[in-house]
Structure 1
Amino acid sequence: MTSTDPAAVSEPTVEDLEREGDVAADFLEGLLDIADIDGDLDLDVRQGRAYVSVESEDASLRAVSDPDTVQALQELTRLAVQNQTGRFSRLILDVGGSRDVRRQQLEKLVDAAVAKLDEGASQASLPSMSSYERKLVHDIAADRDLVSESYGEASQRHTVLRRA
């Protein structure tokens, strides 16, 4: 039996990640068919993760491109991949450019935190978010010469920013 504990599983190979992408694509095609939504799927492997993006000129894709909806679809897709492969999946799903939209939202959150720091605060806490979003915040903070650290457990994990 294969363990699904992320700490107990070795790093996936490129072939493993490509298989994750294929399984995810099959699952997502089924969901899109059920919802009668047209979309083109693109698979990639980046930074040790399978990336699956869904794009379409069809306006119906917008119904599922809200970042919160994409996060939920990503979790369902990860579970489907895990069920098929027996391995924990860290795949990233992007629907209609939702990841770019979410990055812009996170940049605005960091900018608001910078404003608090400019007003004299010693640190600024951001809301709880997923590990992927926290990673983006850490990258954005580093680009702005800020120090960022994550605190809390599970769904309460959040990022705190301060000046370097």
Structure 2
Amino acid sequence: MKFVEKTDKTIAEAISSALSELNTTRDRVEVEVLEEPSKGFLGLFGNKSAKVRVTLKENPAEKATEFLEKILDSMKIPAVLKAELKGSSLHIEIVGKDVALLIGRRGQTLDALQYLVSLVVNSGDSNYIRVVLDTENYRKKREQTLIKLANKLAYKVKKFRKNITLDPMNPYERRIIHSALQNNPYVGTKSQGDEPNRKVVIFLK
């Protein structure tokens, strides 16, 4: 990571000088005080200046887009990446002509890319960042499809009084099913099995 070391009369002045050189702001850096300032004999001789090391924090959005750009280049898919960090969630939208190729069957390709980006963003970082990768509004469309599916199957469970087990889903899609039916008075949901074949079961209460 990029850092600079600065010496000045006070810690604040040394930090200010470092921020100016890095062309950044205080909230985007980590500061380590290497030497405290001190006054010498009678305040005249042996005065000691402050010395700090100021390091730029890794930017999750920049880290993610740089990684994705390399993947898209290797796939020869021209696209524009729009990344926005909201708290502990990083939302990335891929915009372009042929980006539908990145979705794959039931979003499997998009999920795989999202997983890889998450690994890159969270490598060596103590604060976990949740990555949401989307293109052509697939996530929203998929959510609506799953909610409709959940309600349709819940009706069948109630009508035929028989549990229904869905196909394996990733954690994000399972949460949509659970959430869609959490207030249903007639059926409940549970997950069973191990990843990546974990499934949602809709059962009669």
TM-score, scaled relative to structure 1: 0.70
Counterpart secondary structure, 1:93: strand
User: 1:46 & 1:149 partners in 2: Cα distance?
Assistant: 30
User: 1:94 & 1:101 partners in 2: Cα distance?
Assistant: 11
Counterpart secondary structure, 1:156: coil
Counterpart secondary structure, 2:196: helix
1:93 positional shift = 1.0
Pick one of 35, 39, 43 that aligns with 2:83: 43
- Segments of structure 1 that go 5 or more residues without pairing to the other structure are 1-14
Q: State the structure with bigger RCO (CA 8 A, min sep 6), 1 or 2.
A: 1
1:120 aligns with 2:164: no
2:103 paired residue number: 65
Counterpart secondary structure, 1:119: helix
1:82 positional shift = 3.5
Aligned length: 146
Q: Which has the larger radius of gyration?
A: 2
- Segments of structure 2 that go 5 or more residues without pairing to the other structure are 1-27, 29-57
1:85 positional shift = 4.2
**What's the CA shift string for 1:135-164, capped at 9, x where partnerless?**
111222236555322222222322222456
Percent of pairs identical after alignment? Answer: 25
Q: More strand by proportion, 1 or 2?
A: 2
TM-score, scaled relative to structure 2: 0.58
User: 1:46 & 1:136 partners in 2: Cα distance?
Assistant: 21
User: Is the contact between residue 88 and residue 128 of structure 2 (CA under 8 Å) also seen in structure 1?
Assistant: no
User: 2:108 & 2:167 partners in 1: Cα distance?
Assistant: 14
1:102 positional shift = 2.1
User: 1:21 & 1:148 partners in 2: Cα distance?
Assistant: 35
User: 2:134 & 2:183 partners in 1: Cα distance?
Assistant: 23
User: Is the contact between residue 109 and residue 126 of structure 1 (CA under 8 Å) also seen in structure 2?
Assistant: no
**What's the CA shift string for 1:93-136, capped at 9, x where partnerless?**
11222212322332343134124213222432222211111111
User: 1:142 & 1:47 partners in 2: Cα distance?
Assistant: 26
1:107 paired residue number: 147
Q: How does 1:66-145 map to 2 (within 5 A)?
A: 66=104, 67-83=107-123, 85=125, 90-142=130-182
Change beyond 3 A, Cα 1:136–1:21: farther
1:150 paired residue number: 191
With 144-153 and 91-100 compared, the bigger mean Cα shift is at: 144-153
Change beyond 3 A, Cα 1:84–1:52: farther
Counterpart secondary structure, 2:60: helix
